[in-house]
Amino acid sequence: MKLCLLLNVIDPKIGGVMIMGDRGTGKSTTVRSLVDLLPEIKVVAGDPFNSDPDDPEVMAMEVREKIFEGEKLPVLTTKITMVDLPLGATEDRVCGTIDIEKALTEGVKAFEPGLLAKANRGILYVDEVNLLDDHLVDVLLDSAASGWNTVEREGISISHPARFILIGSGNPEEGELRPQLLDRFGMHAQVGTVKDAELRVKIVEERSRFDRNPKEFRESYKAEQEKLQQQIASARSYLSFVQIDHDLRVKISKVCAELNVDGLRGDIVTNRAARALAALKGRDKVAPEDIATVIPNCLRHRLRKDPLESIDSGLLVIEKFYEVFS
């Protein structure tokens, strides 16, 4: 689970993580703690969409027009934002809506950005994603597919970039996820309850230590946290230099084909995740063990469900991997 989250921070194009597991296994805690590790990015000052001053793909229309006209825009560095999407959110709050205050006071139509605008170039986290309303799922699917959010209401027509890392968590007992939404998540992590008594005691002790003195608890992990932050920052800058051999690409696609994975998303995500892992380890070439580490998480949720199958889909992927890579 932690590795999937880190790889998505290194390469946001992997397409997010779906974390499924028993209740009380620290899924939400882990995702929310990711905020401390997020690197800084450049944004145009005062822009509600966190526009990138260098990349037209994640620029709001007004910013793009100003840059094409040769205007110099003030630039800030800020931390990547993490936006929580509550289950009870309305569609207006998610997509953005007409600014009523401006309409009444100034008599003009103006757009008030929603959560998708805030999440552009950041992380959108949905806890209990399998309980999310269908109409919100449709909105998320639309934005996640195109990278843009289009709002058409009350005579307003506006599009803005909405490229975010989609992170969802949920408990499989509370209901399955719609297959088309599941396919949108780049990686899938399965979390089980720890069975080892010693480890359980250690977790309980750490938790009570945190409750007694949160500040002291954070200080005790500060050095490790900073080391990981630097590792992520260097991996992000190093990512574009990482190569993956052609025969490894062929083998990845062979695994996907033999497992009857629908579409090509599985191949693309596995390639990206393997490169991100190599960058995290500080190497410029992908090794077969990198692929072995990430491939179950990239493909397990893309396999066709067989109701009579008792074996875990992650194990099926690993078996096929060793068969092809041997």
Measured distance CA(269)–CA(295) in Å, rounded = 9
**Those residues with Cβ within 8 angstroms of residue 166's Cβ, 6 or more apart along the chain or in another chain:** 15, 16, 124, 126, 140, 144, 184, 185
Q: Which two tokens stand for residue 13?
A: 């194009």
Tell me how many helices (H) and strands (E) the chain has. Answer: 15, 11
Q: Which two tokens stand for residue 299?
A: 């493909």
Q: How far is CA 255 from the centre of its chain?
A: 24
265 annotated active-site: yes
Q: Which residue has the tokens 């009350």?
A: 154
Backbone angles phi, psi at 113, to 5 degrees: -65, 150
Among 184, 236, 265, 300, the active-site one is: 265
Instruction: Map 87-103 to HEC letters.
Output: CCCCHHHHHEEECHHHH
| Active site residues per annotation | 265
